Every structure is written in structure tokens, then in C-alpha cells.
Amino acid sequence: MAVEEIEKLKGDRKMSLREMLPRFWKYLKPEMLWIILAFVFSILNVALDVISPKFIAGVVDELEGKARIFDVLTSVSAPRYVIILAVSSLVLTLLSQGFILLETWILNKAGQKIVYSLRMEVYQHVQNMSQDQLNEMPVGSLVTRVANYTASLSELFTHILVNAIKNILTVVFVFVTMLTINVVLTLFMTIFLVVIFIISFFFRNIVRKIFTEERKTISDLNTFLNENLSGMKIIQIFNQEIRKENEFDKKNDALRRCRNKVMIAFGIYRPLLSFLYFGAIATVFLCGLEFSLSSGAVLAFYLYISKFFNPIQALADQLNGIQKAFSSSERLFNLLDVKPAVRDLPDAIELNDVKGKIEFKNVWFAYEKDMWILKDVSFTINPKETCAFVGATGAGKTTILQLIVRNYEIQKGDIFIDGINIKNIKIDSLRKTVGQMLQDVFLFTGTIRSNITLHDDSYSDEEIMKVCKYVNADSFIDKTEKGLDEEIIERGENFSQGQRQLLSFARTVLAKPKILILDEATANIDTETEVLIQESLEKIKNIGTMLVVAHRLSTIQKADQIIVLQNGEIIEKGNHQQLLKNKGYYYKLYQVQFAEK
């Protein structure tokens, strides 16, 4: 993989706000009408909130016998005037709360749709990545990106963004309203506002760096936890608890230090805002005396200062959330920017009526540049033949099987199925044709049925049990309390290795593949289960082409063709008897395994 692709996977590439905004628009656009409607309610709410101090000031001035602030009500008697203002204030409050309710409901609905789409896109993108790309990205980091980072964006779209805009509108509306009361005093308030914006600008840059560091630290911690909780058995067996505790302590301490930096930054920022807030209040009272303002006007200014500074202080908290969301977005977009290494060509075709002929022509492959795992490998497997691959660890046996289903892309040569280059076949069509049984069986949390069908409800219980009997899995399924509905815990730990392998075999056979791959499928199972699998293999041999990797030569003696690999090259080919007659590498391997017999 190219260096720049690896850097993207690690999330190291910095993205500017200008670069991210168009990408946000992609997710906002489908819900834009709802968002606009929510902003309309937000503007109405802000307008009502800004008007309310005028009513309170009017009541105070009326009680003092001062001029009324609403000239249209000059003909109304004083008591009725006060009552009208009080009732109007109550109505405005009820309307304001109604607008808040509508705005919140709309934004949450729209925001959840946006995040749902984003989360699905990220998950699908991860599914389409090749094996070497997935190997570069720790599982814990992927989980953090798909779950936690999209949650941060959910908070951005459903809460932070709209409140930030609302607070900005409040500041603007309050400023305009204050100008209508007293221009000079309002200009004094502008000085405080400019100072606040300058402080906030520097604060924003500092906080963004801190939150980027925090996101990386959280990702590292999640990766560590995922890996070590999965491997806890090995940690306990080798008595590594203390060492792992120390490693966790370092990562945990790194996160603590990041959080402390955040607290220190906000611990300085918020008191500065409070100092400016009280300075503004003192200025209002002093200037109120200087300009001989009425009590109502001074009170209105006092209330407007709260409405002026509270949104700014709220913006500081929202800036916290925005920076977190931008840091999360940066890492999400870095992941989405990594193009899958294995992709369909524009004119890729479906694979229909598969016979099962497989052909390698001068194939070269390396996981890392110039470190060749396969070197000029060529062979042909005819339809419905069984071909076994033999060789030392690292010879390239498993690699050949992975290349057939395009888990990796070859550097040189061609691979054909039924005479069609696999690069010209749609990936999903290719993989539907090939069934795989691997050495390490992965079972999902669920039931026996869901693990065999992989949640494909088109299969009936009769079909499932027929396949289970075919592969001898019924020998233990019938003994369970719930049969096909028996629960499987995480990684299938409540079943033996042999039972998990039989379930994997049933899963594979149910899909009716034309090509069957067995990669050390009998390596970690007991002799009794191996016999059951061998019986099943004999049944399925004539269904399709079979490719087998096995260290136990007893399991491949009946193969139509045996290919012997060494250092990525084919050194021998033939059936069991032919290879024994040649007295080469295969013969020596056979002698070692059957020396005692």
C-alpha cells in the first residue's frame, strides 16, 4: 500500500475547515428543508427572547411614573398597562417554549437521519476495504471511528450547531435592540465584545490541537482494550497482567493529561468571560447614572447584558463540541478518503453457470514491495478436481487461496476462472461462487441457525438440517436443548473447536459453492471430528472444484492433484502416488509424518 494511503488510514492528514464544509454539505443537503424550518423557529424564538426585557422595562418605568416604552398603549390606564405587559410577557414565554420544542424535535429527527447515513457509509466503506488495508487499521480504531466519532457528529448536527447559530443570532439581535435604547452605552458594550472575540479566536486554535491529540489518545486506548480483552486468556496464561497494567496505565495517563489540558484551557477562558461580564455590568450602572437613564432602561440593559454574555459563554462550550466534532470528522473523512485497493472494473461481469476451472498464469505476488511470496506460479485445476497445496509455513499456500477470491491484488500475471480473468468479474459474484472453510472459525453471537444461514431467511429449517446431516453437524446439534435455536456466545466459546468447524462447514455447503476452499480446516480438531469432516468431503467432492491446504498428508492422499510449494515456487506437481515415486520433497515429508507407522 502506498505511504500516503497508510497515512490516511492512521488519520494523520490534517484537513482545513474549507475542505470539510463541502463534505458536511453532502450529508446536510437531503435534510436541508427540515433544517431551514428549524432555523426559522430558532429565529422566532430568539426574537421573542430579545423582546421580553422591553416589557419588563416598561413595567418598571410605569411603576415609577416614567414614559411608556410602547406609545401605542398611551391611552391605556396604568394598572391595565402593567397587566397587559405582564400577560404579553407570559404569552411570549409560552410561544418561545413552543418554538424550542418544535425546533428540537425537527433537528433531532434530521440529525439522526444524517448520522445514520454517515454511519452506514463508513461501515460499508470498511467492508469494501481489502485485507491488507484492514491489517493496517487496528480494530479498536475502526470501532471508535464508526461508533464514537459518528456520535460526535450526531451531537454536532442535532444540538451544537443550531444552538451555536442561535447564540450568534441572539448576540446580533441584542446588540441591535440595545442600540435603540442608548447608542453610546451600546458602543461601550462593543469594546467588551471585540475583546471576547479576540480571546475566543486564540482559544479556538489552542483547543483544536488539544482535541485532535485527545481523539488519537482515545483511539489508542480503545485499540489496546480491544486487543487485550480479546487476548486475555494468553495474558493470564503467561502471567503478563502486571506488564499489561503498566501499558494500560501509560495510555490511560496520556488520556488524563489530554483531559487536564482541556480543563486548564477552559479554566482560563471561562473566568476571563466572567470578568468581562461583571465589567460590562459595572459599566452599565456607571453610564446609567452619567446619562440619566430611567430605571427601566438600566434594567433592560442589565438584562440584555446577560442575554449578550450568556450566549457567548455558551458558545465556548459549543466551541468545545464543535472542535470535538471537527476532530472526529477529520479522522472519519481520512478513513473515507482511502480508496479500496481491490475494486470492480467499470465493465466487470457477473459469473454465471460456473464450471469451476481455475488457472494461474505466471502469478507474482508480494505483501510488501519486492518481497515476493509467490514467484511466477502457474498451474491449472480442472472442474470438479480436488487440488491440494503442500509446503512449509510461508511457502505461499494460503496466499494462493486468498488471491482466488481477490482478498489481495496480484502484481504480475493473471488468474482465471472458467477462462475469465478474475479482475473482470464482479467481486461479490466471484465470492458467491467460492465457499471457504478456514482454520480459525469465526462464529457470531446469535443462534446456530443464524450462524449457518448468516441471517438469510430464505432457507427453511428442513434445508438447514439437511445440510447439517450432510456434514455430520447434526451429531451435536440434536443433543443441544434448543437445536438450531441454541444460543452461541461471543466467538462460539460454548462449542468445541471441532463443533465450530462443522458449523462452518455447514455454512459453506448451504451456500452451494462451485469452488470450495479448505485452508487447514482440520488442523486444530480432534481425530473423531476429522473423520466426520473427511466423510463429508468425500460426499461433496463431485459437487465442485476443491482446493485444500493441509499439513496432515493423510487428509489429501486422494486428491486428484497435489502441488508442492517452496519459497513461493512450485517444485513438484502430481498425485499422491506419482509424488512418492519421484522421491522428492513430498516423499521426504511423507516419510517424516509416517515414520513411526
User: What's the topology of domain 15-337?
Assistant: ABC transporter transmembrane region fold (1.20.1560)
pLDDT at 147 over 80: no
Helices and strands, counts by H and E, the chain: 21, 12
pLDDT at 219 over 60: yes
pLDDT at 6 over 70: no
Confidence of residue 291 (pLDDT cuts 50, 70, 90): confident
Share of the chain above pLDDT 70, in %: 89
User: What pLDDT shows up at residue 545?
Assistant: 93
State the Cα angle at 410 between 406 and 411, rounded to 5°: 160
User: What pLDDT shows up at residue 82?
Assistant: 64
Q: What is the secondary structure of 413-459 as a DSSP string?
A: EEEEETTEEGGGB-HHHHHHHEEEEESS----SEEHHHHHHTT-TTS
- Mean pLDDT, the chain, rounded, equals 83
Q: What is the secondary structure of 161-200 as a DSSP string?
A: HHHHHHHHHHHHHHHHHHHHH-HHHHHHHHHHHHHHHHHH
Dihedral of alpha carbons 129, 132, 133, 136, sign:
positive
Backbone angles phi, psi at 511, to 5 degrees: -75, -5
- Residue ranges, comma separated, of all CATH 1.20.1560.10 domains in the chain are 15-337
pLDDT at 74 over 70: no
Residue in 559, 563, 586, 584 with CA at minimum distance from that of residue 573:
563
SS3 545: strand
Q: Which of 189-198, 294-303, 535-544 shows the lowest per-residue confidence on average (mean pLDDT)?
A: 535-544
Confidence of residue 449 (pLDDT cuts 50, 70, 90): very high
Confidence of residue 11 (pLDDT cuts 50, 70, 90): very low
- Residue ranges, comma separated, of all CATH 3.40.50.300 domains in the chain are 358-593
Q: Do 381 and 570 form a contact (C-beta atoms < 8 A)? A: no
pLDDT at 508 over 60: yes
Q: 505-532 b/e with 16+ CB inside 10 Å = b? A: bbbbbbbebbbbbbbbbbbebeeebbeb
Mean pLDDT of all residues in 148-166: 78
Please give the CATH superfamily to which domain 358-593 belongs.
P-loop containing nucleotide triphosphate hydrolases (3.40.50.300)
Give residue 577's identity as a one-letter amino acid code: Q
User: What pLDDT shows up at residue 7?
Assistant: 47
User: What pLDDT shows up at residue 547?
Assistant: 94
Q: Which long-range contacts (C-beta less than 8 Å, at least 24 apart) are formed by 66-74?
A: 66/294, 66/295, 66/296, 67/294, 69/296
Q: Which of 324-338, 440-454, 466-480 shows the lowest per-residue confidence on average (mean pLDDT)?
A: 324-338
pLDDT at 22 over 50: yes
pLDDT at 307 over 70: yes
Which pLDDT tens digit goes with each residue over 375-397? Answer: 999 999 999 999 999 998 889 99
Q: Do 118 and 155 form a contact (C-beta atoms < 8 A)? A: no
Confidence of residue 8 (pLDDT cuts 50, 70, 90): very low
Mean pLDDT of all residues in 512-524: 81
**How far is the C-alpha of 129 from the C-alpha of 119, rounded, in Å?**
16
User: What pLDDT shows up at residue 200?
Assistant: 77
pLDDT at 68 over 70: no
User: What pLDDT shows up at residue 386?
Assistant: 92
Show the cell assigned to 232. 486475555
Q: 366-377 b/e with 16+ CB inside 10 Å = b? A: beeeeebbbbeb
User: What pLDDT shows up at residue 177?
Assistant: 86
Which pLDDT tens digit goes with each residue over 523-574? Answer: 666 667 667 777 767 776 767 899 999 877 877 888 999 999 999 999 999 9
User: What pLDDT shows up at residue 368?
Assistant: 86
User: What pLDDT shows up at residue 2?
Assistant: 43
145-149, 160-164, 233-237, 465-469 — most confident range: 465-469
pLDDT at 5 over 60: no
Mention every residue, 6+ apart, whose C-beta is less than 8 A from residue 49: 96, 170, 307
